Structure 1
Amino acid sequence: MGKTIDRYQKLNEVLGRENLTERVDSPFDFITLATKGINSDAVIHFSDYFNLSKNFTATLLNLSEPTLYRLLRSKQDLKRNSSVQLLEAADLFLYGIEVFESKENFFKWLHLPNTSLGDIEPQELIEIPGGISKVRDVLGRIEHGVYS
């Protein structure tokens, strides 16, 4: 339980406290925050923190790269679905880093075909609806020593 609470506190840092209307204490807060809106600067914090390309970040949020650039330039709030996707992806990445004990190992794993995921690379799944939960399930199995 302590690791989960630490992860949510870290999530506030990853996205920038100033970009969130409320503190994140549980995954249920994702919906509240997404409904109220997350400042697009949170995307910059997210991509910088995890050293992600703008192209990958845009794909992850189901946006085109030009749309992401316009959104960032205008400093608008993200739409609800993009906000939830950003929160869930940031939480997943922090969880993956916990499980693999390093950012490098987690991001290498993201780009390797995974038998438990039908030989699909986890990074391909996190870009589609429902994919984050499937990747999270595999991470949970790895964390608990179950072959995955």
Structure 2
Amino acid sequence: MTVAQATLLKNIPSRVDTNITLGMIKTGKVGPQHLQALKDLTLFNDEKISDWLDISVKTFRSYKKPNSIIKARIKEHAVMALSLIKHGIEVFGSQESFVNWLEKENFFFDKKAPIEFMDTHSGIKFIDDRLTGIEYGDNA
């Protein structure tokens, strides 16, 4: 993880928290750097991340440019996903281990990969709850 990524994550909640997320959006603390961080921290391609955000690849790429005007729902989704990623890195100890877990089929996700649930806020919250379970000794 780079220094810039660590600095950005420092201001992201360690758990999916709608109150903090809303505050960040309303105070203008979310921008293109958060969308770029989604890509950098997961190493997923633009297509995968734009699917999570329910936007086109072209729109995702334009939102990553400086001074972009990003819709509030996209900012919200990005912060929630970054919170999840931060929590996952804390639980698994590395980006790579967390991403590997995200991509593996899992009993707790109806034998689907957790990553398949990243396209909704409730899905992100569900994954985050499973991470908390893992922290406290529940099966992965």
Residue ranges of structure 2 left out of the alignment (5+ in a row): none
Paired residues, number: 133
Q: Which has the higher contact order (CA 8 A, sep 6+)?
A: 2
CA distance in 1, matches of 2:114, 2:12: 25
Task: Give the TM-score normalised by structure 1.
Answer: 0.75
Counterparts in 2 of 1:25 and 1:65: CA distance versus 1, 3 Å:
closer
Task: Give the TM-score normalised by structure 2.
Answer: 0.79
The CA RMSD measured in Å over matched residues stands at 2.6
- How many percent of aligned residue pairs carry the same amino acid? 23
Give how far 1:147 is off.
Answer: 2.3
One-letter amino acid of the structure 1 residue matched with residue 50 of structure 2: A
Residue ranges of structure 1 left out of the alignment (5+ in a row): 1-9, 18-22
2:48 aligned with 1:52, yes or no? no
CA distance in 1, matches of 2:95, 2:59: 28
2:4 aligned with 1:13, yes or no? no
Alignment counterpart, residue 66 of structure 1, candidates 51, 58, 81: 58
Residue in 2 that maps onto 1:30? 21
- Alignment check: 8 A CA contact 2:5 2:37 kept: no
2:113 aligned with 1:121, yes or no? yes
CA distance in 2, matches of 1:24, 1:72: 18
Give how far 1:73 is off.
Answer: 4.2
2:88 aligned with 1:96, yes or no? yes
